[in-house]
Amino acid sequence: MIDLYPTSLRLLGRRVLVVGGGAVSERRTRALLDAGARVTLVAPEAVEGLSSLAAAGLIDWQRRGYRDGDLHGIWFAHTATGDPATDARVAADAEEVRVWCVNAGDHLASSAWTPAVARIDDVVVSVNAGGDPRRASAIRNAIRVDAQSGRLPWRRHRDRPDPKATGRAAGRVALVGGGPGDAGLITLRGRQLLAEADVVVADRLGPRSLLGELAPGVRVIEVGKAPGAHTATQEQINQVLVDEAVVGHLVVRLKGGDPFVFGRGGEEAQYCRSRGIDVEIVPGVTSALSVPAAAGIPVTHRGVAAGFSVATGHAELGELPARPDHTIILLMGVGRLAESVATLLGRGLAGETPVAIIESGWTPEQRVTIGTLETITAQAADRRVGNPAVIVIGDVVRLSTYAAPAPVLPEPATAGR
């Protein structure tokens, strides 16, 4: 289509004419209202959606057929009456007065075409496909999916508004939960924000492989924490987020798991907002639930466990249910494993209660150790178990694909055999 010149119309406050009261006209009218146009509808009858818009005062509905003069003062027209003769008349009149007109009944006779549109944040993608609306919609949908999954170069290159002119910081912060480590477990929104990012403030855990896919020029600031070896304090991390956003950057704080599950995301969000920085929270797949799943352990299971609790060490265990049918999940608990086991045994939990330790869940280094409260401390020491690891305590551990199969008991003898 070499005679097609793609462009976008700014219709805010401008008068637009829609002729026809059917479903097509309703879709176009709603899109025109979203663009801020002042819509006049000409149709003897209209579908319920258009009637509702008129009743709400959002459009001017002229309950009659099209007539001469309806295009006076109009910037843009759309006709979809279902009557080829009427649509052709509207299009011809528009041509005469030099008003761009979409003729939904005959795209080849239209002076303008309506594309399939995807709006993603402040980006608008319009697709024309040789007059084939279904083909255009399919391509539009594929572009939307690619954008949301971070496969398109979504990063800005022009400067953001001057914070002095707007009275607020030009940049913003996104706290993105990256999941337990596998890049496939981050959300689509998280991938999209990474594709837009100017600066990524990265943890030691989470989907580190995605850092290699960042656009050229994106800075990565490492603030990962390991037991006994902190690259940056939490106060320093908070300040980095603010400093980078103040100068206009989109800052993505890429965290392992979920930022609001023992991730200190709430502290970071409060610090940024108290200094006038917009913050977006993107939840992640928390390791508390996903890492047990990587070992084939459901944290609840009908007839086995009806609830679960998540803690970070033995201190909280005195307040949690101590029953094998209530799953206990310990995060960052390897260093205090012996104390946690002693606490649970002291509260009456049986020594044969199953325990699983899953190290580096969802990574090629994943390793699973299964024992009982009586044996797990010695097993962990013998195997030199280390963080990152998730500890699962309760009968659900028996369901793991790594657990020893239950013994098969002989069937009882049948009477008379």
Q: Which residues contact 332 (CB under 8 A, 6 or more apart)?
A: 262, 312, 313, 387, 388
What is the spatial distance between Cα 3 and Cα 318, in angstroms, rounded to a whole number? 75
One-letter amino acid of 157: H
228, burial (CB in 10 Å: exposed 0-12, middle 13-18, buried 19+) = exposed
Peptide bond into 298 cis (omega under 30): no
Return the SS3 of 194. Answer: helix
> How far is 299 from 292, CA to CA, in rounded Å?
7
Q: Are 358 and 396 in contact (CB under 8 A)?
A: no
Residue 325 annotated among the catalytic residues of the structure: no
Q: Which of 198, 203, 255, 258 is catalytic?
A: 203
Contact 322, 349 (CB under 8 A): yes
Single out the catalytic residue among 83, 225, 243, 395: 225
Pairs from 118-124 (Cβ < 8 Å, separation ≥ 24): 118/143, 118/144, 118/147, 120/144, 120/147, 120/148, 120/192, 121/196, 123/147, 123/154, 124/8
Q: What are residue 200's DSSP bridge partners? A: 220, 252
Structure token digits, residue 34: 């979203």
The answer to whether 203 is a known catalytic residue is yes
What distance in Å separates the CA atoms of residue 179 and residue 85, rounded to the nearest whole number?
59
Rg (CA), the chain: 31
Q: What angle do CA 309, 315, 316 make, to 5 degrees?
A: 25
Residue 32 to residue 28: CA distance in whole angstroms: 6
Which residues belong to the active site? 203, 225
